[in-house]
Amino acid sequence: MTQSISDLNDKQIWDSAHAIRTGQRLNKEDLSDEAMSEIQKWTDAQPALPAIQTPTEPWRNTTASRPLNKMGHAKKHLKDFQKIDPSLTENEVAKILQHVKDTGKPSPSSFGSTNYESVVNIGGKSVNVKVNVSSGGGIKTGFPEY
Amino acid sequence: MKISDNQILLDDDDYKEIFSLFCSPTQYERVQIYLPESDHYFRKVDLQEEYSLNQETKEFSVDAWRSVLSFLGRNGLSLLRDGKELNLSFSDE
């Protein structure tokens, strides 16, 4: 149902203004054009808002050495990652595993393999991710521990 | 698993367990396959489903060797050579 600005409480106005100033998408169906216009005017009159600190996800800048379905058994953990962030794709999970391999803390594992472990930011959550790498350097598996 | 004098007979649950061990290179994953509430619980394996695996040839051997040793050890079996028993628990480390 469309609301006019008089229907909104202070918090709703502030949230809408904040969304405009930070470039977030507003659900315009919830507000009348008049309300949107008033909020926009009010927003423009305010001093600049401080930059919002968004969680960094450096793994996004990683290039995976191979696709997830060629990282040994790792693909079976795709759903485990998607429980943390349902929007994660196979390519993104491959990037996360590659990032942990490249930056994580190594420890010896059985049969000549090595485990790498690192806390990774996924969808704003800090997640401990473990990756197992063969003696030949290939990723055998990788998963979030929770 | 049924053991007689000269053979070992496996049932579907055994095959599911061996498969789950095969595709679980880490201790953490091997714990998960024995938790009924886990998505990776071995009894949830569909034996008719296809499984594609891409990794170095050596790693197929490593996974096969590790999974068989682990399966035998978990089912109370050990290896005997020249009268000396080898405990298989190392395969789960």
**How far, in Å, CA of B64 to CA of B77, rounded?**
17
Higher-scoring residue by pLDDT: A13, A32? A32
Its ipTM equals 0.89
User: Does the pLDDT at position A64 exceed 70?
Assistant: yes
B67 assigned to some structural domain: yes
Rg (Cα) of chain A, in Å, rounded?
22
Residues B62, B38: Cα–Cα separation, whole Å:
25
Q: What is the CA radius of gyration of chain B?
A: 14
Which domain, by its residues, includes B18? Answer: 10-45+57-92
Q: Name the domain count of chain B.
A: 1
Do the Cβ atoms of A15 and A3 come closer than 8 Å?
A: no
Res. A32 pLDDT band, cuts 50 70 90: confident
- The answer to whether position B2 is within a domain reads no
Nearest CA in chain B to A134: B59
Q: Are B22 and B67 in contact (CB under 8 A)?
A: yes
Residue A140 CB contacts under 8 Å (≥ 6 apart), including other chains = A71, A72, A73, A74, A113, A132, A133, A134, B25, B55, B59
Residue corresponding to tokens 């998607």: A82
pLDDT of the residue at A96: 98
Q: What's the pLDDT band for B70 if we cut at 50, 70, 90?
A: very high
**According to DSSP H, which parts of B23-90 are helical?**
27-32, 57-74
Question: Percentage of chain B surpassing pLDDT 70?
Answer: 100
Per-residue pLDDT at B63: 96
Residues of A with CB under 8 A from a CB of B: 69-73, 76, 79-80, 109-113, 115, 130, 132, 134-136, 138, 140-141, 143, 145
Query: What whole-number distance in Å separates Cα of residue B66 and Cα of residue B20?
Result: 11
Interchain contact B28–A (C-beta under 8 A): yes
What are the domain boundaries of chain A?
Answer: 5-45, 58-145
A105-119, B8-22, B73-87: lowest mean pLDDT where? B73-87
* Cβ–Cβ < 8 Å for A140, A133: yes
Give the lowest-confidence range in A26-35, A75-84, A98-107, B63-72: A26-35
CB-based contact, B91 to chain A, within 8 Å: yes
* Least CB–CB distance from B59: residue in A79, A134, A145: A134
Burial of A70 (0-12, 13-18, 19+ CB in 10 A): middle
At residue A18, what are phi and psi to the nearest 5 degrees? -60, -40
Report the gap between the CA of A50 and the closest CA in chain B (Å).
43
pLDDT digits (tens, 9 = 90+) for B4-22: 888 989 999 999 999 999 9
